Amino acid sequence: MNGVPFPLTFGSGETFLLTAIVLGFLFGLALERGGFANARKLAAQFYLYDMTVFKVMFTAILVAMVGLYTLAGVGLVDLGRMWINPTYLWGQAIGGFLLGIGFITSGLCPGTSLVSAASGRLDGLVTFLGIFVGTFVFAVAVDVFPWLDRLYEGASLGVSTLPTVLGLPVALVVLAVVVMAGLAFVGAEKVERIFQARYGTIDLTPEPTRRTPRIKFALAGSLVGVVVVSLAWKATPPAPPAVRPTSIAPLTLAEQLIARTPDLLVLDLRTARPDGDMGIPGAVAVDSAGAVELLGRTNAGVRVVLVTADSTPGMVPAGWPADRHYLVLAGGYSAWTTEVLTPVEPADASLAEQGRVARQRPLAAFFSGAAVQSASAAAPPPVLPVGGGAKKKRAGGC
C-alpha cells in the first residue's frame, strides 16, 4: 500500500485464513515442546521450582520484539498497519489479576489448556470447557451490570505503547527489556535450583544447562541488543496506527439511509464516475485530502461509510482521525448497484433468497426510482453531521 512490505495485506480472503493453519500449528507445537501441556509444570512457576513459563514466554517476547522493531527500524514493517492491543487500564489490570488466579487454580491458561487437551490431558479439556462458561458469564454480566460495562470500557488510552507512554526512544525501551529479561533469566535459574531442592523437578524436564550455553545466550542477547540499537535508533516512535474499518453490507446501508440513522456520513471515494451515475443519495464525493478536511469538521464517534468502486479496503488511510467509527461498503459501489439499485430476482428462490428479495424490492424502488416511488420517499436523504461546533474535536492519535 505504501511500499512497505510487511505486514502483508491479504484482505480477509481464503489465502489469509490459510496462513492461520501453518502458524497456529507451529504455535501449538512450540507450546507442547516447551512442556506447556502439563499443568503441573505450569503451576510450578508459582511455587518457584520450575520457571519454564517465565523463560519460554520472555524468550519468545524478546525474539518477536527485537525482530519486529528491528524490521520496523529499517523500514520493512509498517507498525501503523498492525493491530496493536489497545489499552484499557481497568480491564487489563483487574482481568489480568483474575486470570492469574484462574491460572494457578486450573494450572493452565487458555492457550495451554488447548495444547493440554490435545495431548490427552482431561484437566486441559475441563479447563477449556470452563473457559467457555466464564466467557459466557461475562457476556451476560456486562449486559446486566452497567458498572461492569464501565469497568470494561473504562480508562481507555487507545493504542498506546511503552515508548510513547514513557517518552523514550523505541530502541532504548527494547534494549531495557532485553537487559532486564537477561538478568531475570539468571535470577530465575538460581531461584529454581533453590526450590528444586525442596520440591524436586517435574518429569521430562531437560537436564539443566551448564555454564557454556548460558554464557552463549547472554552474548547472543547483548549482540542482538546492540544490533537493535544501531538499527532502530533513528526510527521514530510508531506512527498513530491506522484504523481497521468494519464492513457494512449494501442492504444494511440502504436501510439505514432510509431510516435516517443519525451520525452517518457516507463518503464516495471513487476516482471515476461513469455518465448517468446515480451515486448514493446523501453521499459526499471527495478525494482523500477532501475527506480529511471534511472529517475534521465532524465529531468523534461519527460513523463514516467509505465507498470505493469495487474493492473493500482493509485499512483507513493514514492521517485520518482515528476516533471515528469507519465502515466500508462491502464490495464497493458495484455491489451497491447489483444489490440495491438493480437486484436480480432469482427464478426459483429458496426461502432465504425470498426473504432477501423482499428486503431488496422496496430499497430498489427507493434508490433507483423505479416503480413504486412515492413523494416522501424521494425526499433528499439524510444526515450529514458536519459542523456541530459544540463538541470540540479531540486532537489526533487516540
For residues 174 and 58, give the distance between their C-alpha atoms in angstroms, rounded to a whole number. 13
92: exposed, middle or buried (Cβ count in 10 Å: 0-12, 13-18, 19+): middle
For residues 77 and 230, give the distance between their C-alpha atoms in angstroms, rounded to a whole number. 17
Q: Which of residues 235-274 bind other proteins (CB under 8 A)?
A: 246-249, 252
Upstream peptide bond of 7 is cis (omega within 30 degrees of 0)? yes
Query: What phi and psi, each to the nearest 5 degrees, are found at residue 185?
Result: -65, -45
Show the cell assigned to 295: 472529517
Of 127, 135, 138, 129, the closest CA to residue 104 belongs to 127
* Residue selected from 2, 11, 27, 287 as contacting other proteins according to rule CB under 8 A: 27
* Contact string (CB under 8 A) for other proteins, positions 137-166, x = contact: xxx-xxx----xx-xxx---x-xxxxx-x-
- Minimum Å distance from CB 375 to other proteins? 31
Q: Which residue, 6 or 386, has its beta carbon nearer to other proteins?
A: 6
Q: In what order do the strands lie in the sheet with 264-268?
A: 246-248, 325-329, 303-307, 264-268, 284-285
Residues 12/17/23/26 CA torsion (nearest 10 deg): 160
Of 108-116, 339-347, 348-356, 375-383, the segment contacting other proteins by CB under 8 A is: 108-116
Q: Which residue, 13 or 380, has its beta carbon nearer to other proteins?
A: 13
* Residue selected from 1, 74, 98, 186 as contacting other proteins according to rule CB under 8 A: 98
- Minimum Å distance from CB 295 to other proteins? 20
Contact status: 367 vs other proteins (CB under 8 A): no
* Residue selected from 2, 11, 17, 193 as contacting other proteins according to rule CB under 8 A: 17
Which letter does DSSP use for residue 77 in this model? B
Q: Which of residues 294-333 bind other proteins (CB under 8 A)?
A: 327, 330
The CA-CA-CA angle for residues 263, 264, 265, to 5°, reads 120
22: exposed, middle or buried (Cβ count in 10 Å: 0-12, 13-18, 19+): exposed
Q: Which residue, 112 or 298, has its beta carbon nearer to other proteins?
A: 112
Q: Which of residues 36-65 bind other proteins (CB under 8 A)?
A: 37-41, 43-47, 51-52, 55-65
Q: Which residue, 87 or 377, has its beta carbon nearer to other proteins?
A: 87
Run of H or E residues at 293: helix 288-295
Residue 84's region, left for phi above 0, alpha for psi from -120 to 50, else beta, is beta
Q: Which residue, 129 or 372, has its beta carbon nearer to other proteins?
A: 129
- Minimum Å distance from CB 384 to other proteins? 21
Of 16-24, 284-292, 351-359, 362-370, the segment contacting other proteins by CB under 8 A is: 16-24
Q: Which residue, 203 or 348, has its beta carbon nearer to other proteins?
A: 203
Contact status: 74 vs other proteins (CB under 8 A): no
Q: Which residue, 286 or 398, has its beta carbon nearer to other proteins?
A: 398
